[in-house]
A and B are shown apart, each in its own frame.
Chain A
Amino acid sequence: MASLIDRDQLQRLVAQGAQLLEVLPADEYKEDHLPGAKSIPLRQLNRETAATLDAHRPVIVYCWDIA
């Protein structure tokens, strides 16, 4: 189940082992991404690519929020 989280919750969850997933295009990921984030561009996000994530740990998906 998906839910929105704020910056503090993100930092807490990452510290507890959550995975960060950036869904922006690959070029944008190369330029800038959150430390430790994995890249799966939205158009490539499917059952197969999602299988590269650890199913036992929470996944935090993000894109661009202009900050």
Chain B
Amino acid sequence: MAAGLPTEGTNSLHPRAGDAARKDVPVCSLTERLGDVRERVKAEGWDAALVVDGERVVLGLLRSEELAKDPDQRIEQVMRPGPSTFRPYVSLHEMAHFMEEHDLESSPVTTSDGKLVGLLYRTDAVRLGMQPK
């Protein structure tokens, strides 16, 4: 509803995907050189990056496996295109279960129009979503 921004009401007391998604995840464009992106991502201490367009609509995902490919390739040649995304309002409890069941290390969180909110790590979802109520 609020694209990852705060809301009011009883549900707002429970942590949701948008709350825990890391908003500072590195981003890159389709035409960048993988080697350049990898350097930037590592320098910032990350192991993943999102590929976005000029309006921050998510086009692809780069995890460790993709970041380790031939550095002279363009991002569009190596990325995981069209990754599954999740909406910010989904409860972290639900996200934690889903990510464990599907063995997802991280998942992009986007608004309904595909714009990046952040990258949710399973470790964060489990730590914050599995707490006793």
Contacts and interface: CB of A to CB of B under 8 A. Distances in A.
Interface of A: 7, 29-37, 64-67
A25 B27 CA distance: 38
Given A67-B87, A67-B89, A34 B7 contact: yes
Contacts of A67: 1, 3, 87-89, 111-113
Contacts of A66: 87, 112
The 3 closest A-B pairs by CB, nearest first: A67-B112, A32-B9, A67-B111
Main secondary structure of the interface of B (DSSP, over half): loop
15 contacts: A7-B3, A30-B9, A30-B10, A31-B10, A32-B7, A32-B9, A34-B1, A34-B7, A36-B8, A65-B1, A65-B112, A66-B87, A67-B1, A67-B3, A67-B112
A37 B5 CA distance: 14
Given A64-B1, A66-B112, A67-B112, A32 B89 contact: yes
B14 to A, nearest CB: 10
B12 interface: yes
Contacts of A35: 6-8
B110 to A, nearest CB: 8
Nearest to B10: A31
Nearest to A29: B9
A20 B27 CA distance: 33
Contacts of A32: 1, 7-12, 89
A33 B112 contact: no
